[in-house]
Structure 1
Amino acid sequence: MAKRLSNESPISDVLKEIISQNKLQPGMDVVAVREAWDSLMGNGVRNYTKEVILKGHTLYVALSSSVLREELAYGKDKIIRMINDELGREVVREVVLR
């Protein structure tokens, strides 16, 4: 049976409890990483991004430009750092550019 929280709990604590009890965090991470990619990379990269998928701790990004893919490959560590900083915790450990 689920633990009952007191009536005076902040809504953020209640939501964290619901997310952890129902094991929703991986799905929340997928959405958060996709939004972080869009906000951090800007319009130039977003226009060439076909899909952003998070599987485990690996971020797969499909790009339609081979030139952009090569350029971003040099900054994989920075991309990982930026996304994890945006989310406030370590979600992405590796980036695979396709």
Structure 2
Amino acid sequence: MAKRLNSESTISAVLQQIIEVNKLQAGMDQIDVREAWKNLMGSGVNTYTKNVILKGSTLYVELGSAVLREELSHGKSKIVKMINEELRRDVVKDVVLR
């Protein structure tokens, strides 16, 4: 049973409690990572991005261009760092480009 919050709790504290109690963090991370990818990569990369999926701590990105996939593969660690900085916590540990 969830603990009762006092009447002076902030909305963010209540929402965080709901996320924890209902085990929604994985779904929230999936949405947050997808949005971070869109914001950080820009329209050029997003044009060729078909799908972005977070499974555990691995980010799977499906791209429609082999050339772009090759270019991005050289900067995987930078992509991980940029996404984690955008989210302000360590969510992504590895990137797989398909």
State the TM bucket, normalised to the shorter chain.
Answer: over 0.9
User: Distance in 1 between the 2:97 and 2:40 partners?
Assistant: 16
Amino acid at match of 1:17: Q
Q: SS at the partner of 1:37?
A: helix
Q: Which runs of 5+ in 2 are unaligned?
A: none
Output the TM-score relative to the length of structure 1: 0.98
Give the aligned partner of residue 60 of structure 1.
60
Give the aligned partner of residue 23 of structure 1.
23
Give the aligned partner of residue 6 of structure 2.
6
1:2 shift after superposition: 1.7
State how many pairs are aligned: 98
Output the TM-score relative to the length of structure 2: 0.98
1:35-50 maps to which residues of 2 (within 5 A)? 35-50=35-50
User: Distance in 1 between the 2:2 and 2:79 partners?
Assistant: 39
The percentage of counterpart residues that share the same residue type is 67
1:28 shift after superposition: 0.2
User: Distance in 2 between the 1:7 and 1:52 partners?
Assistant: 39
1:49 shift after superposition: 0.3
User: RMSD across aligned C-alpha pairs, in angstroms?
Assistant: 0.5
User: Distance in 2 between the 1:75 and 1:69 partners?
Assistant: 10
User: Distance in 1 between the 2:45 and 2:17 partners?
Assistant: 36
Q: Which runs of 5+ in 1 are unaligned?
A: none
User: Distance in 2 between the 1:16 and 1:88 partners?
Assistant: 16
